[in-house]
């Protein structure tokens, strides 16, 4: 059964599925390197349509050159774009990061905002990025970061019938404990990378195949 077909509601098996996946991925932790809220925000913006590994390679040198909001705000879009070229969509990301830095300097007292409402005012920051920054930089769990892996697995596992990330987020928040939301996101991401890939998922070796309505095993 494919994800786009009508998969039945499987939320009754959520706890069992999540428990099994947590045994496989006991240390589901963020892969992006950062040492401050600003670095996390920049890294998360760069991670759109890019692997965490590639982002970490870029930020290893980037964070040595750009240490403050003022550094980013004063950057030239073209030059900055060349520095982040390998993360893809570099021109748009450069504009978003530089403009966000300027907005944070003028509107947010030179600090990265620590509320969902304020973060969403920054260019290039949607709920996914905001949730990551809030949870990892400030310890605030407002929701769950829904990326392509979380979206795919939530549908395949029968946790949601929706395609819209915000609706998927709401569905997951209804069935998971708030304190588990970040771990759930990372767990689904890891399982999506390792087993439940978009094409040719490894259903035969999947630990939750007996509870998954999409299993081909």
What secondary structure letter does DSSP report for 36?
S
DSSP-H helix ranges across 1-126: 14-24, 37-46, 52-65, 69-73, 77-83, 90-107, 116-119
Residue 83, both tokens = 């520095």
What secondary structure letter does DSSP report for 210?
G
What secondary structure letter does DSSP report for 183?
H
Q: How far is CA 8 from CA 38, 88, 150, 189, 212, in A?
A: 41, 37, 18, 22, 10
Contact indicator for 117, 135 with CB cutoff of 8 Å: no
Active site (catalytic) residues: 128, 147
Q: Tell how far CA 214 is from the center of its chain.
A: 24
Residue 50 labelled as part of a binding site: no
Residue 206 labelled as part of a binding site: yes
Binding site feature residues for [4Fe-4S] cluster: 196, 203, 206, 212
């Amino acid at each position: 059964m494919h994800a786009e077909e009508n998969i039945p509601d499987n939320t009754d098996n959520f706890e069992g599925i999540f428990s099994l996946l947590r045994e496989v991925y006991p240390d589901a932790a963020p892969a992006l390197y950062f040492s401050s809220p600003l670095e996390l925000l920049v890294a998360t913006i760069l991670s759109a349509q890019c692997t965490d590994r590639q982002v970490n390679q870029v930020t290893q040198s980037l964070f040595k050159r750009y240490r403050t909001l003022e550094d980013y705000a004063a950057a030239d879009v073209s030059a900055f774009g060349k520095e982040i070229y390998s993360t893809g969509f570099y021109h748009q990301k450069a504009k978003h990061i530089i403009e966000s830095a300027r907005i944070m300097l003028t509107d947010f007292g030179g600090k990265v905002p620590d509320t969902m409402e304020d973060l969403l005012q920054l260019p290039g920051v949607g709920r996914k990025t905001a949730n990551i920054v809030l949870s990892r930089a400030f310890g605030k769990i407002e929701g769950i970061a829904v990326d392509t892996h979380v979206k795919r697995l939530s549908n395949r596992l029968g946790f949601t019938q929706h395609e819209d990330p915000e609706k998927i987020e709401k569905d997951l928040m209804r069935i998971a404990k708030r304190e588990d939301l970040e771990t759930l996101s990372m767990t689904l991401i890891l399982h999506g990378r390792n087993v439940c890939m978009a094409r040719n998922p490894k259903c035969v070796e999947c630990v939750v195949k007996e509870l998954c309505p999409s299993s081909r095993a």
